[in-house]
Structure 1
Amino acid sequence: MSAGLVVASGSATHVGLRRALNEDSFLAEAPVFLVADGMGGHEAGEHASARVVEEFSPFVGREWLGVTEVRGALERAKAGVEDLSTAGNGRAGTTLSGVVVASVDGTGYWLALNIGDSRTYRLAEGELEQISVDHSVVQELIEAGELTPAEAATDRRRNIITRAIGASSSGDADFWLFPAEEGDRIMVCSDGLTSELTDQRIGELLSLVADPQQAADALIAEALQSGGHDNITVVIVDAVRVSSRPGSGLGSDGSDIDVDTLPRAAGGAR
């Protein structure tokens, strides 16, 4: 069954201006669009993020994926990252955020996933919405009403995450399933972008630059101009054509999807 969704994409990464090593990894080939931001000393983060992306690479070229396949890849990725950890370096870990093309009754859907504080956004009809919800200390404080998003942007705890793949974390990824609309622009990024640019500026650039590759390059360039304190990775995927939706709800190819079908509000944690 066809996914009913044709996409175009662009991607870019940069080590930044303060780091010697780029620990980000990404995959930007249909139907998989992911960013992983590694952590851990002695190059462990670089290997952890690459290990996760490696588990999703065999899906490239497929028309769409189901949540069971995505969860299976995540489990294999977790096992692989844990294998990287040794007695002398037990902190190997990585975030993961992004979307895969899914199908419900032959209609194109986005299946978003997230663990950690890399982010997935959707630009639709000129409005930028953060789909993912950060797994971070400051996000929990925002939700508890103890911090405002503006305060969180400069809080000293803003880089402390509460879930990851590896790094001794047992937390699970969050999933969201939502229908694709023609003209959707999905952006996935590491926190090297969102720590330098506001959501407002990100939305402006995504709206101004039509070509996805040029938009990714423009976001990286402006983040570098703003300081480039961390590795920066951006993946952009546009919904070029979406089949008409039959309106019959979840079908046999979506019946195993135990995920949120609408993204919950995500107060920015930067």
Structure 2
Amino acid sequence: MKAEWYTSSGNVREQNEDSLGVFYGDECLIGIVADGMGGHAAGEIASKMALKLTSAKWSEHSGTFTKEEAEMWLNRLVRSVNLRLYEYAETHEECRGMGTTFAVALCTNEFIAVSSVGDSRIYIWKQGYIVKQITEDHTFVNELLKSGQITKEEAADHPKRNILMRSLGTEPTIALDTSVIDWTDCSHLLICSDGLTNKLSDQILSEIMEGTMNLREKTEMMINEANHAGGEDNSSVIIISKDGDGEKL
């Protein structure tokens, strides 16, 4: 396995409230994208805390995972990070109301366990196919879409598309959204903040993935394309390849 990542504050915002990282273990790795929200610097604090707490939890684990263990580990992670963020916000007046999205993928050689909160997304892609979103957006607009009140085309430009129904740190408990899928040869994961996916369609993401560039160059192209399309928001992406660029973990 191999992973590359890239992030940008975009063309408008002075600071980048996205935090992302990849951490390796015993024949496995974990990738995280967190998109912070809150007044002043609180969003940046929330996303950085989520990343730091995940790194600390990951460092405590050794050995491999079964599917059941991976799902349980992610569920415990999401609960613990959520509570720590909530408690921090409650005891720091300047951070009241802060929160963050959270998209995390735990990858082994056989399977992927994913969990998400908010509207940061995880996609899976394989050559010759269109990227497929494997997480669900926890947004007001997605609720309208699921209930049939609006179409997918209307959702893309809806004025309330950024209203989150769920985020880490804003409540003491959190609903869990964790799943496990098989990890097939020559497939890739994309973990993205909404600053990227609001600007690049599934078709464009797939076309970039089909290119002959290496993983690092593909992450840079995605971010550059999002900035060329306006870049009003921070944007981040991690690409994880099962087979790497001709190498394996």
Which of residues 106, 112, 115 is equivalent to 1:113? 115
C-alpha displacement at 1:62, in angstroms? 5.3
| 1:17 maps onto 2:25 in alignment | no
| 1:133 maps onto 2:131 in alignment | no
C-alpha displacement at 1:47, in angstroms? 0.9
Which of residues 152, 155, 158 is equivalent to 1:155? 158
SS of corresponding position for 1:240: coil
Q: 1:116, 1:134 within 8 Å by CA — same for their partners in 2?
A: yes
**Matched residues in 1 for 2:193 and 2:44: separation?**
13
| 1:73 maps onto 2:71 in alignment | no
The TM-score, its normalising length taken from structure 2, stands at 0.87
Give the equivalent residue in structure 2 for 1:143: 146
For 1:258-269, what aligned pairs fall within 5 Å after superposition?
Answer: none
**Matched residues in 1 for 2:2 and 2:230: separation?**
29
Give the equivalent residue in structure 1 for 2:247: none
**Matched residues in 2 for 1:18 and 1:126: separation?**
35
C-alpha displacement at 1:126, in angstroms? 2.2
**Matched residues in 2 for 1:146 and 1:157: separation?**
14
From the two aligned structures, give the one with the greater helix fraction: 2
**Matched residues in 2 for 1:120 and 1:173: separation?**
15
The TM-score, its normalising length taken from structure 1, stands at 0.80
Give the equivalent residue in structure 2 for 1:82: 86
| 1:100 maps onto 2:95 in alignment | no
| CA deviation string 1:151-199 (max 9, x = no partner) | 1111111000101101237442311111101111100000000111111
C-alpha displacement at 1:228, in angstroms? 0.5
**Which residue identity is paired with 1:92?**
M
**Matched residues in 1 for 2:189 and 2:212: separation?**
14
Gaps of 5+ in 2: 245-249
| 1:205 maps onto 2:208 in alignment | yes
**Matched residues in 1 for 2:221 and 2:188: separation?**
15
| CA deviation string 1:203-248 (max 9, x = no partner) | 111111442111111101111111111001100000118xxxxxxx
| 1:172 maps onto 2:175 in alignment | yes
Q: 1:48, 1:84 within 8 Å by CA — same for their partners in 2?
A: no
**Matched residues in 1 for 2:200 and 2:127: separation?**
21
Tell me which moved more, 218-227 or 51-60: 51-60
Give the equivalent residue in structure 1 for 2:124: 122
Which of residues 207, 225, 239 is equivalent to 2:228? 225
**Matched residues in 2 for 1:35 and 1:221: separation?**
18
Alpha carbons of structure 1 residues 45 and 158: separation in structure 2 relative to 1, 3 Å = same
Q: May I ask how many residue pairs the two structures share in their alignment?
A: 231
Q: 1:33, 1:99 within 8 Å by CA — same for their partners in 2?
A: yes
Give the equivalent residue in structure 2 for 1:46: 44
Alpha carbons of structure 1 residues 95 and 169: separation in structure 2 relative to 1, 3 Å = farther
> Once the two structures are aligned, what percentage of the paired residues are identical?
29
SS of corresponding position for 2:137: coil
